[in-house]
């Protein structure tokens, strides 16, 4: 069997497994799951930097740079979304009373 067909089959199956696993996770576990995904994206970013650093052809360097940019955007966006989700679970701030409101 052609190697590219095998790799495409593995990719499609991994997409289906990923969708099934994510859809079964309860909403309370999404934040820890996203934190783990952010760590994985950091590893992907590191791998993209290492592979691009050893690339010799212009096409490989171009694809590597695109991979670095997309991995960085995905990782930073994941941390931003995780931070916003964690703020939703935090205690609400009490409104501060100013002295002019207190005297009235």
Name residues of the chain where pLDDT drops below 50: none
Q: What was the pLDDT predicted at 53?
A: 93
**Mean pLDDT of all residues in the chain?**
84
Q: What was the pLDDT predicted at 68?
A: 93
Q: What was the pLDDT predicted at 103?
A: 64
* d(C-alpha 45, C-alpha 20), whole Å: 25
Q: Is the pTM of this model over 0.75?
A: no
Q: What was the pLDDT predicted at 102?
A: 61
Q: Which candidate, 78, 48, 77, 82, places its Cα nearest to that of 65?
A: 48
Q: What was the pLDDT predicted at 101?
A: 65
Q: pLDDT tens across 32-55, in order?
A: 777 788 888 889 899 999 999 999
In terms of Cβ atoms closer than 10 Å to its own Cβ (0-12, 13-18, 19+), residue 41 is buried
């Amino acid at each position: 069997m052609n190697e590219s067909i095998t790799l495409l089959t593995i990719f499609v199956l991994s997409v289906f497994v990923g969708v099934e696993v994510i859809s079964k996770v309860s909403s309370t576990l999404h934040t820890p799951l996203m934190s783990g995904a952010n760590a994985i994206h950091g590893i992907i970013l590191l791998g993209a930097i290492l592979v691009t650093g050893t690339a010799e052809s212009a096409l490989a360097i171009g694809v590597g740079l695109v991979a670095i940019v997309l991995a960085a955007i995905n990782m930073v966006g994941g941390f931003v979304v995780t931070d916003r989700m964690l703020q939703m679970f935090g205690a609400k701030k009490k409104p501060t009373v100013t002295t002019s409101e207190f005297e009235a």
